[in-house]
């Protein structure tokens, strides 16, 4: 984290030559928003059905001394799975998430969080995510999630508010993208307005069909990346 957020930086990590961009307006999401000085400000990368971020957690995000707070780790896992759904130009809302905390995650050392879609059926997406020690490849935490994609009307509403520009492939044609935020920023909900009706209020998300009997179809891994 830095004291003065700057839209477009997306943290401190440099983009690689084989990456395109996935653009949207700068915003204040606690996990990935460039404008949230108190947030994690994850630098996110995507490819089809997968998203990841390399980062180092600040000591302000610890629980026990020197150990990252479990709620922060849950945030990282959730964010990576949600951005994996964005690789399909969808907006996935978390309906269910379970986590296995396998080893303590120290603050102040590099980690990687990866999210991926494992099954999909219409608007229902099942996902998994991992927090890894990049030096050893050891998995420190693992999550499984169920996400519901926004309806067409809700997705249209979100594209307009966050000014999503979608994916632009790399010059070499690689389908790998870095998430890039730019100005003008998303207005806070307390002041944003779609017109004379007052502040922007998100519409409800339909979570029907997320019960135990709802089984998405497996994703063909050959089509990912």
| pLDDT tens over the chain, length 225 residues | 434 444 443 443 444 668 999 999 999 999 999 999 999 999 999 999 999 999 999 999 999 999 999 999 999 999 999 999 999 989 999 999 999 999 999 999 999 999 999 999 989 999 999 999 999 999 999 999 999 999 999 999 999 999 998 899 888 888 999 999 999 999 876 654 444 334 445 555 555 555 555 555 454 433 333
Give the residue extent of every domain in the chain.
20-186
H or E element in which residue 142 lies: strand 139-149
Q: How far is CA 133 from CA 176, 201, 204, in A?
A: 22, 39, 38
Q: Which fold has domain 20-186?
A: Thiol Ester Dehydrase; Chain A (3.10.129)
CA 74/CA 76 separation, integer angstroms: 5
Q: How far is CA 42 from CA 34, 72, 86, 187, in A?
A: 8, 12, 15, 20
Query: What is the largest distance, in Å, between two alpha-carbon atoms of the chain?
Result: 55
H or E element in which residue 150 lies: none
Whole-prediction pTM: 0.81
């Amino acid at each position: 984290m830095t004291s003065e957020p700057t839209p477009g930086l997306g943290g401190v990590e440099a983009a690689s030559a084989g990456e395109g961009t996935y653009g949207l307006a700068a915003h204040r999401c606690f996990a990935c928003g460039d404008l949230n000085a108190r947030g994690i400000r994850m630098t996110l990368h995507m490819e089809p059905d997968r998203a990841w971020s390399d980062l180092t957690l600040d000591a302000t995000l610890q629980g026990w001394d020197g150990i990252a707070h479990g709620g922060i780790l849950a945030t990282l896992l959730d964010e990576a799975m949600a951005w994996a759904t964005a690789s399909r130009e969808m907006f996935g809302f978390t309906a269910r998430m379970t986590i296995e905390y396998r080893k303590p995650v120290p603050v102040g050392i590099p980690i990687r969080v990866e999210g991926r879609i494992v099954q999909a059926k219409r608007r229902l997406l099942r996902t998994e995510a991992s927090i890894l020690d990049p030096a050893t490849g050891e998995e420190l935490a693992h999550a499984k999630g169920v996400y519901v994609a926004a309806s067409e009307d809700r997705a249209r509403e979100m594209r307009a508010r966050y000014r999503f520009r979608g994916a632009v492939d790399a010059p070499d044609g690689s389908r790998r993208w870095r998430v890039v935020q730019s100005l003008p920023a998303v207005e806070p909900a307390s002041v944003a307005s779609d017109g004379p009706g007052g502040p922007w209020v998100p519409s409800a998300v339909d979570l029907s069909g997320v019960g135990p009997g709802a089984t998405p179809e497996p994703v063909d891994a050959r089509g990912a990346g």
